[in-house]
Amino acid sequence: MIQYKIKKFQYLDPNIDVIEMKNEDIEVHVSTLGCTILSIFTKDKNEVKSDIVLGFDDRNIYLKQDKYIGAIVGRVAGRIKDAMFTLNEQEYHLEKNNGENALHGGLLGFDKQIFKYEMIDQGICLHYLSKDLEAGYPGNMEVSISYTLVENKLIAHYEATCDQDSIVNITNHTYFNLAGCGTVLNHELLIDSDEILCSDETGCANGVRLKVKDTPFDFNTSKQIGRDIDKDHEQLKIGGGYDHYYIFNQTSPSVILKDKKSGRVMKVNSDQKGAQIYSANFLDGTLKGKNNWYFNKRDAICIETQSAPNAIHIEENPSTILRKGNKYSATTIFEFYIESEEVL
């Protein structure tokens, strides 16, 4: 049984709501500002509930933060080289919000938009109309984001249609910390992936594939995130740690994150081809989060399932193109366990 509570977003715009949903296993709080996941509460091995995602008690921060904490990012997640692209022989210019590049949908991307919403079976569905040329992208795009709770799973499902050919690549940018505080360097991570996409000096995927075998990027066998993160590798220097697109192999689950101390395990399954794995390298201790926690570098890990970043420039048939009349659809399942209960 799911229970819901709807609250007005504290201190701010009265048009923003917070929806709290819970079942026997998990409790998830979602804001209609950016479909942001404010909290996910799960039990540890001693049945103690903690919030395992980064977020802010001071809700005003969500309006100004540029770290996309908990938010849905779009239209196009990741960096687009030189903030421009060509589609159907027409050049489109995007907002440059990351040096010369466009990042995560621009200055007022989906993370800064207020979504309408409806309650659906086992969860919530949020809607937004992104108007033609908003942030520079062509076409009126109708976007739906749903979050449902099914037993120990949070299912995130994204859909979009557009009245012109356009590009889209939506992801959720939740920062996970299964211990509920401190660093994630001691979390164990498994990623079912043999190849990553390399980044250029601006952090933009450049289309070069790197085989992870015998490099610090290899997570095919579970290892602590901190084990190799500071190793001498050109790509780790560019990212300031892990900040790369991992191309999934075809097996599942694709990613398993474990915190041995609390016993919490999260498995991530997705129909997407890969995920940007980001070890929160740009957090610098200045953002004051929940419970007076100042977020530091590597206090969390983001598992941003999506199509390849910068696909429009680096793929022959870019997977991010959405043709008029077609439907974009993507699903990612976050599944939460206690280690002893784990079913593999």
Catalytic residues: 173, 304
Binding of ligand GAL at residue 159 (CB under 6 A)? no
Of 117-125, 226-234, 274-282, 328-336, the window that binds ligand GAL (rule: CB under 6 A) is 274-282
Compare residues 62 and 117 and give the one whose CB is closer to ligand GAL: 62
Cβ atoms within 10 Å of 223's Cβ, excluding its own:
14
Shortest distance, CB of residue 77 to ligand GAL, whole angstroms?
Answer: 7
Binding of ligand GAL at residue 276 (CB under 6 A)? yes
Shortest distance, CB of residue 68 to ligand GAL, whole angstroms?
Answer: 5
Q: Which of 67, 112, 187, 298 binds ligand GAL (CB under 6 A)?
A: 67
Shortest distance, CB of residue 244 to ligand GAL, whole angstroms?
Answer: 8
Binding of ligand GAL at residue 336 (CB under 6 A)? no
- Cα Rg of the chain, angstroms: 19
Binding of ligand GAL at residue 68 (CB under 6 A)? yes
Compare residues 183 and 281 and give the one whose CB is closer to ligand GAL: 281
In this structure, what DSSP letter does residue 332 have? E
Shortest distance, CB of residue 203 to ligand GAL, whole angstroms?
Answer: 5
Around 207, how many Cα atoms within 13 Å sit in the side-chain half-sphere? 11
How many residues of this chain interact with ligand GAL, rule: CB under 6 A?
9
Distances (CA, A) of 250 to 47, 48, 227, 262, 273: 34, 35, 26, 30, 9
Q: Which of 17, 51, 304, 335 binds ligand GAL (CB under 6 A)?
A: 304
Nearby residues of 341 by Cβ (< 8 Å), 6 or more positions away: none
Tokens of 258: 């474990």
Nearby residues of 13 by Cβ (< 8 Å), 6 or more positions away: 33, 63, 114
Around 42, how many Cα atoms within 13 Å sit in the side-chain half-sphere? 27
Compare residues 42 and 332 and give the one whose CB is closer to ligand GAL: 332
Q: Which of 51, 111, 243, 335 binds ligand GAL (CB under 6 A)?
A: 243
Binding mask 178-217 for ligand GAL (x = CB under 6 A): -------------------------x--------------
Binding of ligand GAL at residue 103 (CB under 6 A)? yes
DSSP of 175-200, one letter per residue?
EE-TTSSS-STTSEEEE-EEEEEEE-
Shortest distance, CB of residue 304 to ligand GAL, whole angstroms?
Answer: 5
Rounded Cα gap, residues 306 and 245, in angstroms? 9
Binding of ligand GAL at residue 111 (CB under 6 A)? no
Compare residues 117 and 278 and give the one whose CB is closer to ligand GAL: 278
Percent of residues in the chain assigned helix, strand, coil, to nearest 5: 10, 45, 45
Q: Which residues bind ligand GAL (CB under 6 A)?
A: 67-68, 103, 203, 243, 276, 278, 282, 304
